[in-house]
Amino acid sequence: MIDGITTYGSEELINQIKYAEPVFICMIGTTETSKIPGISGAGATPELTEYTPAADAEIMVHGSVHCMDEIPQTVVGETAAPTPSMLTKASLQLADIPFVIVDAGSKITPDLECNRLGKEYGRDIRTGKGVLNPLEIYENAKELGSKLSMMHDYLVIGESIAAGTTTALGVLRALGYDANEKVSGSMPTNPHDLKTKVVDEGLKNAGLNPETDEIDAMQAIGAVGDPTLAGMAGLVISTDIPIILGGGTQMAAVCAIVKSINPNFDFSRINLATTVFVANDETADLFDLIKQIDEDITINIVDPNFEDAEYPGLKNYLDGFVKEGVGAGGAMFTALIRGNSVERLRKKIEKVCSE
């Protein structure tokens, strides 16, 4: 048992990788779905949500934002909830974990060198054509995953894409899962009705009916998914080494995609690591989503004890803002299993936020 981590499932993988060497992969992308008013809190305005993934990547690499004037954040009263990229950046620095940025398909490209899986960004899923090139992204991600697996002991995968819980809902629904009102969100009030309406419109315009059609993974992503889902699924399915999926709802969708592609996939080597803010989200049900997909998937919940934080913006996480993103749960989890205390991790996060 590790302080700050509550594990639901087997602890065998944690013991296996505790002294191994990881690489953190941040998968960024765009879905124009994020511009629908009220659907995402990952930006000060719906239009600015398209800049958030690039800005998150720039924060991780440069420590500052180049693609826009300000760091993306959720303003709550007089304080701001810091972007989860700061939690991730602090965790990776503290535990000395190497990382790579992978662009699955971004409308706004970050000012840095990164691996690109395709030239197309994600469209509004209401059109029924959310991703124009899912197979290309998936195959390129498989190739990258194979290369990274030869260089590292295990992969830690995170994502940054605004409106990602809505596209995750779309893919889960398309693949036949009971996901309505079970996906999380970046605001305390979860717009389930809006998300469901958007997905319903996308499925209708794609000519897909999950109740009567046998929909495969690429069809689901192409219709109502986003580029990061295709990319992360490719990484997962490309290797037989352990994998930490850093996140909540979107990572459930990744597992569902992998299950669709390979029904016999060994999920015992997959650990999903997310924050206590996602796990305690009363507007969602991550545990039920994972149970529907495969009971061999272990869930690890990280609690960074933000109630003790001196940096005021972090306490907004306690009230349901942001919750997760940029693989923050996976990055914090990895920092903790590599021997850091929760207090040391929190103080590092506060330092990065203050800077």
Over residues 65-94, the pLDDT tens digits come to 888 766 655 544 456 788 899 999 999 999
pLDDT digits (tens, 9 = 90+) for 277-286: 999 999 999 9
Q: Residue 53 sits in which domain range?
A: 5-354
What's the whole-number average pLDDT of the chain?
94
Whole-structure pTM value: 0.95
* Coil, helix or strand at residue 260: helix
CATH code for the domain of 75: 3.40.50.10210
Distances (CA, A) of 138 to 96, 116, 134: 29, 12, 6
pLDDT digits (tens, 9 = 90+) for 285-298: 999 999 999 999 99
Number of structural domains the chain divides into = 1
Alpha-carbon gap, residue 256 to 30, rounded angstroms: 21
